A = this chain, B = another copy of it.
Amino acid sequence: MEQKVFINSGKELDELYASAFVVTDENLDRIYGGMLPENKFVMRAGEENKNLDTVQKIAEAMLKCGVRRGDRITAFGGGVVGDVAGFAASVYMRGISWSFVPTSLIAMADSGIGGKTGVNVGLIKNAVGSFCLPDTFIETKYLHTLPTREYRSGMGEIVKTSLLDADLFEFMHGKFKAVEAIKKCVKIKSDIVNKDFTDKNGARKALNIGHTVGHPIEMITGLSHGMSVLLGLRFELLMLRDYLEHNYFYELQSYLSKYIGDTRVTFEPEAVAVIASADKKNEDGISIMYPYSIGDIREVVLSKDEFIRLLKEAM
């Protein structure tokens, strides 16, 4: 059940036209609408539209276009489009195949790999979803039209991923080349996903570094996902800094600062704790995946009170 991933193969247009139906968003449709097939659903852009209401509308449009069980649909867009269209595919007629042409850096390097789909329920991200692998067609030319905020968000997930892998970590300290970074991220994430497709045995948890504090920051501040993960990482490193060797701690903080720049956030630690507790990954206490060293990620479970105390100290 290895995921098929094509990088700069130039096959994505064939794939789009071979699909019975395409899902994209209004921003992309404005730029690329002319090259998309007619059977498509254009969703409103933004995380706030990643919900069951949009799934309903997509299913209605698919029914209207006569999409059948044996058909395939393609998501053309960033992580939100992929999450919602992938979920729609996984449940439409009890599940049809799907492809993903990611247009954002974060979707190319991270969310386009691994087959997690999902929509939000109220404030809870991906409270409803599925595991359903797409074929993914990464074309870096689409990065040219990516807004800066989104590009920086993608860099955030790449930087996060680099803490899982010494090779990528070293690469990130040299001259940056997006396509190489994406290739490495795809490989790192695929290897982890293959060990733990349905997120049960713990291997996939390593991908959550920075997310325990980062997710709530994203929800509270509205900052991009990748930037929120970087800020989450910074706070998590501070919260548990006693676990880290002195130089390594400062090296990481300086590395993160290069990508965080002067972005600052304010939030109530209690609010972060409430959102973190509600996360599906946090069954007993609040779990933080912690980079003891590059590639050595271990879980630390804190009680809610402990979490709040440490977060306050880190602020």
Contacts and interface: CB of A to CB of B under 8 A. Distances in A.
B283 A94 contact: no
Interface residues of A, number: 36
A257 interface: no
Interface stretch (A25-33, A55-63, A222-230): A55-63
Interface string A175-210: 000000000000000000000001100000000000
B130 A283 contact: no
Contacts of A198: 94-95
B59 A91 contact: no
Given A60-B121, A93-B280, A116-B94, A128 B69 contact: no
Contact of A122 (B60, B128, B278): B60
A147 interface: no
A34 interface: no
Given A69-B280, A283-B68, A94 B124 contact: no
B131 A278 contact: no
B283 A121 contact: no
8 contacts: A52-B56, A59-B121, A63-B121, A63-B278, A68-B283, A93-B127, A94-B199, A95-B130
Interface of A: 51-53, 55-56, 59-60, 63, 66, 68-70, 87, 90-95, 116, 118, 121-122, 124, 126-131, 198-199, 278, 280-281, 283
